[in-house]
Structure 1
Amino acid sequence: MARPILWIVVPCYNEEQVLPLTAPMFLQKVQELTDGGKISKNSRILFVNDGSADKTWSIIRELAEKDEHYIGICQSRNRGHQNAVLAGLMEAKDRCDITISIDCDGQDDINAMDRMVDEYLDGAEIVYGVRAKRDTDSFFKRFTAETFYKLMKTLGADVVFNHADYRLISAKVLQHLADFEEVNIFLRGMVPLVGFKSTTVSYDRAERLAGKSHYPLRKMLALAFNGITSLSVKPITLITAIGAGFSFIGLILMIWAVVKAILGQTVAGWASTVCIVCLLGGIQLISMGILGQYIGKTYLETKHRPRYIISARTWEAETRHYLEDDLS
C-alpha cells in the first residue's frame, strides 16, 4: 500500500502570536510521520488565513518561502471558522489522500495524529479527535460545553460528544462532503451525515500557547443554535408539541369556565388572566423567533452565495515568481 499524502488543514484568524510557535510543531509532526513510513514525503501543512487583520498572512507566506511543506491560502474576507476549515478541506480534496483539520492555537494534542493515521491505515475513513477529560476547565466552562453537546444531540444534530473540529477525513469522504451545498455550515454535524467507517481517538487538551481564544461563550451559543437550526427541524416539532399541549389545556380551562359560569360561581380573576396572557405571549414570541430563524436560513440558502472566496495561494505566488525569472 502506497503511503498516503496527508494535508494538515489549519484555519487561522489573527494568529500572529501563536503561529510562529505552532508551525514548527506541525512541521516536526509531518517529518516524524514521514520518517516512520506512515505518510508520503509529499505531505503538506495548509494554513487557511480567514481574513486576518494582523500579520498572519505575511507569516504564512514567509513560512511557505522557507519550507515547501508549508503552503497557504487566503480568503478574501473573514467568513468564520467553519467556512475556513471547509475552504481548506475543499482545496485539499483533489491533492491528497487524507486531511487532518486542527486549530492553530496548540491546544489539541498534535501527537494524536499518529493514532489517527494508524486508524486510517486500518480502514477508517473518518477519525474524530475526542477530549478524554475536562479536568483543566472551570466548572462553568465544563458545564456549558457538556450541555452544548447534549443539547445538540437532544435536538437532532448528530454530533460526536466532546469533539470539536480536530479530525481526520479521507479524500473519498471529502468528495461526498463537497456535495453538501448548504450555506449554513456546521461541520461537526455535517461530517457524520456523510457516513463511511469512522472511529474516535481520545486526547488531552492543553492550554492555548499564546493569544486569546476566538470562541467565547457568546460565539459558542451562536454556533450551537446555528448547528441545531441547520441540521434539524426538531425545534419546530417541539414548538408544535408545546402548542398542541397548551391548546389541550386551554380547551379544558374553557370547559371549566363554562361550567363555572352555568353554576354562577365565576369571579374576577385579574392575576390569573395576566399570568396566562404573559405566558402564552412569551411562548408565541419565542416560537416566532425560531420559525424566523428557519425562514432566514432558507432565504440565505436560495441565494446560493459562495461559502468562501480564495483571494491568494502561496503556490500561485511561487509560479508567478518562476515565470518572471524565465521572462527576464
Structure 2
Amino acid sequence: MNQAVIEVSVVIPVWNEAQHLQQTLKTIAGFIWQSTKSFELIIVDDGSTDETWAELMVVCSEIPQVEGIRLSRNFGKERALCAGLEHAQGQAVIIMDGDLQHPPELIPQMIDYWRSNTAKIIECVKKRRGKESFGYGMGAKLFYWLIQKLTRYDLHGASDYKLLDRQVVEAWAIMPERITFFRGMTAWLGFSRVQIEFDVAPRIEGTTSWKFTTLVRLALHAVVTFTSWPLSFVSIIGMMFFVGSVILGIQTLYMKLMGVAVTGFTTVILLLLSMNSMIMLGIGILGEYIAAIYDEVKGRPRYIVSQKTRNVRSDENISDQ
C-alpha cells in the first residue's frame, strides 16, 4: 500500500507542560480537523523533567495523528524546533507553542491562505504582546531594534507561529548550522509571505520557562549568526582610539617642547580606563564569534532523540491529499 500523503504537519516543542498538555493538544487538533483530516501533530519533548512524556503517551492513544519525539536532554527550543521540522512530512508545516498563547483558531485561516497559493510562508505577528514585565518588554524592543539595524531584517512583532510550505521547509533543511535562530532563518530564506496579526493570549496555565539569561543568550546567538557587524565595530573603535592617541601625542610633544608642565593625571586615568574597557569589549565580541565557530566545527548533531512514539497510521487516520 502506498503511504498516504500528509497535507499538514503541526510541530509543537514542549518542556514541562504536563499539567495542560492533554487539553492543549485536543484543542489544537480540533481546529486542525476543521480544515483537514490529513495531518500529523508532532510533539517534541525537549527533555522535560515532569510527566510530560507520560501525558503525551495518553494523548497518542486517543488521537492517532499525534506523534511524540523525546530528546535525550533539554537542548533548547530552537533545537527542538529543528527536530520537529526534520521529522515533519506534511506538504505544509505549522510551528506553534504548546501553551495556547499562539491562538489555534488561526490554523484554518493559515491553511486557507496556503491552499490558495497566496504565499509560501504564512506568519503570525504579534499585534499586542500580552501581559509581560516592563523589563521583558523593553528588552524585546531593544533586541528587535538591534536585529533590524545590524541585519536589515525587520522582526518586530515576529513569532515562531508560522506555516511553511514544503518548498520552504526543504530550503531550511539544507542550512547546516548548529546555532540556529528560527525567526531569522525563515526571514533570510525569502519566499512570498503574508502576515496575520494576533493578540498574545494568556498562558493556559503556569508561567513562562524563559529566563533573562536564556533570552540574552538567544539574542547573542541571533546577532552572531546573522551579522559580522560587531567585528567591524571593534575595528572602527580601534581606529578612533588610534587617531585620538596620535592627536594626544602631538599635543603632549608640543607642550613639552614649549616648556609647559604637563598635568592631566585625571585625563590619563580616564584614557586608560576607557581604552581598557574597549579592549575587553573587543575581546568579548571576538570570543562570541570564536565560540560560534568552535560549535560549528565540532560538527555535533543539533539534538539527540532518545524515544519516539510508534503510532501506526492507516488510511482511516490520514487520508490522501
> Normalising to structure 1: TM-score of the pair?
0.89
Q: Cα distance, 1:190 vs. partner? A: 1.0
Asked whether the 8 Å contact 2:12–2:97 carries over to 1, the reply is: yes
Asked whether the 8 Å contact 2:147–2:155 carries over to 1, the reply is: no
Q: Any idea what the Cα deviations from partners look like across 1:45-73, whole Å, max 9, x if unmatched?
A: 11001111111111111111111121111
Q: Cα distance, 1:277 vs. partner? A: 0.4
1:98 to 89, 92, 98: 92
Q: Pairwise mapping of residues 39-54 of structure 1 onto structure 2 (< 5 A)?
A: 41-54=37-50
Q: Which residue of 1 aligns with 2:234?
A: 239
1:23 to 22, 25, 35: 25
Mapped pair 1:270 → 2:265:
yes
Q: Cα distance, 1:209 vs. partner? A: 1.1
Q: Which residue of 1 aligns with 2:317?
A: none
Which stretch shifts more, 24-33 or 140-149?
Answer: 140-149
**Unmatched 5+ residue regions in structure 2?**
314-321
Compared CA separation, residues 209 and 22, structure 1 to 2 (3 A): same
In 2, Cα distance between equivalents of 1:262 and 1:177? 66
The one-letter amino acid of 1:244's match is: M
Q: Which residue of 1 aligns with 2:128?
A: 133
2:108 to 96, 114, 124: 114
Query: Identity of paired residues, percent?
Result: 29
Q: Secondary structure at the match of 1:278?
A: helix
Q: Secondary structure at the match of 1:282?
A: helix
**Unmatched 5+ residue regions in structure 1?**
35-40, 320-328
Q: Which residue of 2 aligns with 1:215?
A: 210
| CA root-mean-square deviation | 1.8
Which stretch shifts more, 232-241 or 150-159?
Answer: 150-159
Compared CA separation, residues 57 and 157, structure 1 to 2 (3 A): farther
Mapped pair 1:165 → 2:167:
no
In 2, Cα distance between equivalents of 1:138 and 1:185? 26
Asked whether the 8 Å contact 2:256–2:262 carries over to 1, the reply is: no
Q: Which residue of 2 aligns with 1:86?
A: 82
Which stretch shifts more, 214-223 or 76-85?
Answer: 214-223
Q: Which has the higher contact order (CA 8 A, sep 6+)?
A: 2
Mapped pair 1:249 → 2:244:
yes
Which stretch shifts more, 214-223 or 133-142?
Answer: 133-142
Q: Which residue of 2 aligns with 1:299?
A: 294
Q: Cα distance, 1:135 vs. partner? A: 5.9
Compared CA separation, residues 136 and 210, structure 1 to 2 (3 A): closer
The one-letter amino acid of 2:110's match is: M
Q: Which residue of 1 aligns with 2:303?
A: 308
Instruction: Provide the aligned length of Structure 1 versus Structure 2.
Output: 308
> Normalising to structure 2: TM-score of the pair?
0.91
In 2, Cα distance between equivalents of 1:121 and 1:238? 45
2:54 to 44, 54, 58: 58
Q: Pairwise mapping of residues 182-221 of structure 1 onto structure 2 (< 5 A)?
A: 182-221=177-216
Asked whether the 8 Å contact 1:50–1:79 carries over to 2, the reply is: yes
In 2, Cα distance between equivalents of 1:12 and 1:53? 11
In 2, Cα distance between equivalents of 1:62 and 1:22? 13
Compared CA separation, residues 45 and 234, structure 1 to 2 (3 A): same
The one-letter amino acid of 1:273's match is: V
Q: Any idea what the Cα deviations from partners look like across 1:31-88, whole Å, max 9, x if unmatched?
A: 1123xxxxxx120211001111111111111111111121111112211000001110
In 1, Cα distance between equivalents of 2:134 and 2:75? 31
Compared CA separation, residues 200 and 217, structure 1 to 2 (3 A): same
Asked whether the 8 Å contact 2:130–2:200 carries over to 1, the reply is: no
The one-letter amino acid of 2:14's match is: C
In 1, Cα distance between equivalents of 2:230 and 2:299? 25
In 2, Cα distance between equivalents of 1:177 and 1:241? 34
